[in-house]
Each structure stands twice: as structure tokens, then as C-alpha cells.
């Protein structure tokens, strides 16, 4: 019984495998016959993942107390064995293996648990800092998901009728070919031609580049999720500067933004109303909105945001090797990826990149260089040069990186982190890895100062970062959109 209880404690508390092996050794020696029960509690690292170190310790101690009480009952029911041991010990110096008294075994067991707790205090953070994504996303109470809303949102997402000049759609800069991001440092919205790296401005345009790198919308449904798996979709932080909360609110912002979708067609304050008018004048859209939201006057700005949000919330990728490993598939990650995971925690990356999305969803000053394509330095919004911690999900598909898109590879990012705390920094291969000159060393986030041992030439760390990607996701594009305009805008 003690062994079974111990196995449950170990499995549910998320203790690492080397401690688990010590526990198995103890049970084999002290509680023979029960080791099979312990071995049956397979270590997956997972059920307790995401639980705080405090609650983890309390759980272990509570279950240990139960195990001790059970061992006392066992001791009372084994008086015959105890008497036999007493008689046998008169002629022998020590009790043979396999005949340890139950009460003694229980106290030894308690000692092992204390050692485990000490071990967990150093390793439990890693278990609580990183965990698998939920298999399904939550929705806000005011916008429950439905097939009709998702289908409408997909049509709207790919229809350039939402833009001022009717030449750019949401999907122009969030294309499944690039993991619903874009392989450009800074996006080209209005007056752009082409897709991804081949996209360029048309002749004579006065429209500037989009101010920041296009983030993937894969798994954006989980924005704001914390280390315990809790999040509130209606309050989820959006954009690099967190200027919007919830997908419903975020969805309308690009429609109003000059360089993204509005252009010079109408004033910002009129943008959403003009677009809603276009949709209401289209019989097919009136039918789709009515099917999704009910009523004969369903084409509204509020429902436009809800439909786009419902579609974006459906775009999840939750089966990365890391997710499968954390859910119990011991073969989902290879040795290099596992070494990289330990290194990721050890050098301090998990201070900010934590939780299922590998982001604390907070603003931090890192001193990332500005993109030279911008006419002026991008100082962010509320806190000078502070930008939201990027999720590390699906990195293999979403280069270039950082809010300014200045790093083309993961190695470039790691080299920046290696250099940024110093006084200088390096420039090489066309990449400026030095700290932003507008950010002093004293302005850098204190958590950045705690990074230790970052190495851009670290194949194990890179392998782990790649193990956070899942390429099995919905890539469906509609064959046509209700406006009759080219799907995705001018991307051919």
C-alpha cells in the first residue's frame, strides 16, 4: 500500500525521472513485492505539470501523511511477522533484505520523501514553468464558437473587401504557408503586390511599411494563458504592445490602421462603418451573418469582430513534440531536444518564456534593434521600448523574429541575448546584434540580466525550440469570397 501511495505521489507531483529512479530503488530494497506497483506508475512528467511548487509540496506531504497512517495499520496487522523477525534477529546481526519492519520502512520512506521534496524545490520550477497546450481553446461567454461563425470568419479573413482599396486581406500577412505569419521582417499592407518574401510595394505608393513584424495567429486562442493553464479569452492581450484585449477587439484594429488595411481611402474613425456598409450591401454576407448570429440586421461591427475572432480561435496547433512528451509520450522528443529543454530552463529563458504558450504575456525592455526600414525609432506604447514576450510556438515556420523582425534565424536571436548585456555587441552577416542605442543598459529588464550561458552555437537548445512546432494545422483557403475579389488580395 505504501508503494502504491508513493507511486501516486510521485506521478502526480511531477518529480523528475532521476528522483523517481531513487524511489524505485528504495521500494525494491525496503518494500519488496511492491516495486511492481511503483513501476506501474509510469513517469510522464505531466499530470502535475503546471502546478506551483507550493501546491506540489503540500500535495506530496498530504499524501505522505496518508501513507504513514496506512503503514501504521499494516504494522498492527503484522504482529506475527514482527515476532518472527524478533526471534530470527537473536541469531543474526541484521535483518535480511525483504524483511524490513513496516513501521521502520514507513519512517525510511518518509525520509526519502523529504529528500524528494528537496530535489523538487530545485526542479519543480521547471515542471511548473512549462506545460502542454490544452487540446481545445476556451471561448468568451459573449462569443461562443459555432461552425457558422467560424465559416463566416474564414470568408471575412480572406476577403479584401475589408480594406480601403480592396487589395489586402487579413490572410495577406497571416498566410498558412508561413504558419499564419509572414516571412518578411515588416509587412507590406496597402498597395502591396505578391506574397511573403516576394511581396513589394506598387509604383508611386506613399504607404509605409507596417510598423512591426507580423505575429502568427496559430494558437492565439490561448493568449494570456498562465502556468496553471488559466486564462480569460475576453481579456487576452494582443499585439506587440498589448494595445488591445481579446480577439474580438483585436480583429477590428487592422481595418482602421493606415498602413495595414485602411490606406488613404477614408478617415480612421469611419473605417469600420464603411466596411460594415459594404458587407451589409452584399446579399451573400447578409445571409451568412444571419445564419451565424440570428436576426435580419446581423451585419454589425460587433458581429464582424466576433466572426473574425471565432475563425482565428479555431486555428490551433497543439500536437508539437513537446506537447506529446508532456502528455506522456516518452518517445516524442529525442535526446538532443531533452538536453535543450533542460538548458532552456537552466540559463533562465523560462523566466519570461513560460506556461503552455512559452510567454508570460508581459512587457519587457530588451533593447532589440530598430528595423532600418522605419522612418523613426519604434519606442512602443506605454513603457518606452517595452514589448510583449513573444510566444515560442511554431518558430520553425514564422521567421524572422522579434517585434522589429531584424533576426532571420534562431541563432541570430540567441547571439543577441548573448551580446545585449554587454557594452557593445556585434554586427555581422548583415544583422545588427547590438543593443538599441536608444535603450541604456540600466533600462534593460532585470530578468534579462539573469540570463546565464546563452550560446548561439547550441544545437541542443535550437533542437528544443524547434520541438515546440506543430505543422499539422488547418491550412484551408476558400476557393472564392462573397465580394468576388481575389482571395487574399493581390498576393499572386
Three cell numbers at 422? 554587454
pLDDT surpasses 50 at 45? no
CA angle (356 as vertex; 130, 9 as ends), nearest 5: 50
The pLDDT of residue 449: 84
Q: What distance in Å separates the CA atoms of residue 167 and residue 309, rounded to the nearest whole number? A: 21
The position carrying cell 508532456 is 326
> Which parts of 402-478 fold into alpha helices (H)?
410-419, 446-449, 459-466
pLDDT surpasses 60 at 97? no
The domain segmentation of the chain, as residue ranges, is 2-129, 147-313, 321-466
Cα separations (Å) of 157 from 171, 178, 355? 6, 16, 29
The pLDDT-based confidence of 440 (bands split at 50, 70, 90) is: very high
DSSP state string for 241-269: T--EESHHHHTTHHHH-IIIIITTSS-GG
- Is the CB of residue 311 less than 8 Å from the CB of residue 157? yes
Count of CB atoms within 10 A of residue 8's CB?
16
What is the DSSP code (8-state) at residue 204? T
The pLDDT of residue 44: 38
Cα separations (Å) of 134 from 49, 219, 384? 12, 10, 34
Q: Across the strands, what pairs with 200? A: 193
The position carrying cell 533600462 is 443
> Which parts of 281-320 fold into alpha helices (H)?
283-293, 301-313
CATH for the stretch 147-313: 1.10.760.10
**Of 237-251, 263-277, 387-401, 445-459, which gets the smallest average pLDDT?**
445-459
CA angle (75 as vertex; 74, 77 as ends), nearest 5: 65
pLDDT in tens, 299-340: 999 999 999 999 999 999 999 999 999 999 999 999 999 999
More reliable by pLDDT, 34 or 389 = 389
Q: What distance in Å separates the CA atoms of residue 133 and residue 218, rounded to the nearest whole number? A: 12
pLDDT surpasses 50 at 441? yes
Q: What CATH topology corresponds to 321-466?
A: Cytochrome Bc1 Complex; Chain D, domain 2 (1.10.760)
Q: What distance in Å separates the CA atoms of residue 306 and residue 303, rounded to the nearest whole number? A: 5
| 3-state DSSP assignment of residue 28 | helix
Fold match, 147-313 / 321-466: yes
- CA-nearest of 3, 78, 79 to 39 is 3
Q: What distance in Å separates the CA atoms of residue 48 and residue 41, rounded to the nearest whole number? A: 13
The position carrying cell 459555432 is 146
- CA-nearest of 216, 221, 219 to 138 is 221
Amino acid at each position: 500500500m505504501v508503494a502504491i501511495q508513493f507511486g501516486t505521489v510521485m506521478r502526480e507531483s511531477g518529480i523528475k525521472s532521476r528522483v523517481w529512479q531513487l524511489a524505485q530503488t528504495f521500494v525494491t530494497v525496503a518494500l519488496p513485492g511492491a516495486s511492481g506497483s511503483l513501476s506501474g506508475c509510469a513517469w510522464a512528467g505531466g499530470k502535475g505539470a503546471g502546478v506551483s511548487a507550493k501546491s506540489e509540496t503540500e500535495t506530496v506531504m498530504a499524501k505522505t501523511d496518508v501513507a504513514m497512517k496506512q503503514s501504521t495499520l499494516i504494522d498492527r496487522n503484522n504482529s506475527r511477522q514482527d515476532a518472527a523477525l524478533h526471534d530470527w534477529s537473536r541469531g543474526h546481526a541484521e535483518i535480511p533484505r525483504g524483511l524490513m519492519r513496516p513501521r521502520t520502512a514507513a519512517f525510511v520512506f518518509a525520509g526519502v520523501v523529504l529528500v524528494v521534496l528537496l530535489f523538487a524545490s530545485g526542479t519543480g520550477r521547471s515542471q511548473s514553468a512549462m506545460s502542454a497546450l490544452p487540446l481545445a481553446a476556451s471561448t468568451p461567454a459573449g462569443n461562443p464558437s459555432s461552425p457558422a461563425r467560424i465559416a463566416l470568419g474564414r470568408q471575412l479573413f480572406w476577403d479584401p473587401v475589408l480594406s480601403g482599396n480592396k487589395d489586402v486581406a487579413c490572410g495577406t500577412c497571416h498566410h498558412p504557408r508561413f504558419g499564419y505569419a509572414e516571412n518578411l521582417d515588416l509587412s507590406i499592407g496597402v498597395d502591396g503586390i505578391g506574397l511573403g518574401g516576394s511581396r513589394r510595394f506598387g509604383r508611386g505608393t506613399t504607404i509605409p511599411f507596417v510598423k512591426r513584424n507580423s505575429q502568427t495567429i496559430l494558437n492565439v486562442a490561448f493568449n494570456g494563458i498562465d502556468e496553471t493553464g488559466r486564462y480569460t479569452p475576453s481579456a487576452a492581450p494582443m499585439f506587440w504592445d498589448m494595445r488591445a484585449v481579446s480577439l474580438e477587439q483585436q480583429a477590428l484594429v487592422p481595418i482602421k490602421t493606415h498602413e495595414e488595411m485602411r490606406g488613404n481611402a477614408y478617415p480612421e474613425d469611419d473605417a469600420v462603418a464603411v466596411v460594415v456598409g459594404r458587407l451589409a450591401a452584399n446579399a451573400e454576407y447578409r445571409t451568412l451573418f444571419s445564419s451565424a448570429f440570428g436576426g435580419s440586421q446581423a451585419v454589425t461591427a460587433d458581429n464582424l469582430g466576433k466572426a473574425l475572432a471565432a475563425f482565428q480561435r479555431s486555428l490551433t496547433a497543439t500536437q508539437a513534440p513537446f506537447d506529446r512528451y508532456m502528455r506522456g509520450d516518452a518517445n516524442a522528443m529525442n535526446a538532443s531536444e531533452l538536453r535543450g529543454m533542460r538548458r532552456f530552463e537552466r540559463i533562465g529563458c523560462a523566466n519570461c518564456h513560460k506556461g503552455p504558450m512559452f510567454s508570460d504575456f508581459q512587457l519587457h525592455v530588451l533593447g532589440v534593434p530598430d528595423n532600418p526600414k522605419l522612418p523613426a525609432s519604434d519606442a512602443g506604447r506605454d513603457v518606452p521600448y517595452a514589448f510583449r514576450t513573444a510566444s515560442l510556438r511554431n518558430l520553425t515556420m514564422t521567421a524572422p523574429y522579434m517585434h522589429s523582425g531584424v533576426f532571420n534565424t534562431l541563432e541570430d536571436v540567441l547571439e543577441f541575448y548573448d551580446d545585449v548585456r554587454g557594452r557593445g555587441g556585434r554586427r555581422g552577416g548583415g544583422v545588427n546584434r547590438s543593443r538599441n542605442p536608444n535603450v541604456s543598459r540600466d533600462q534593460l529588464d532585470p530578468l534579462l540580466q539573469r540570463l546565464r550561458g546563452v550560446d548561439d552555437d547550441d544545437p541542443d537548445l535550437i533542437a528544443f525550440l524547434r520541438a515546440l512546432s506543430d505543422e499539422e494545422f488547418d491550412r484551408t483557403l476558400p476557393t472564392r469570397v462573397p465580394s468576388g475579389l481575389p482571395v487574399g488580395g493581390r498576393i499572386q
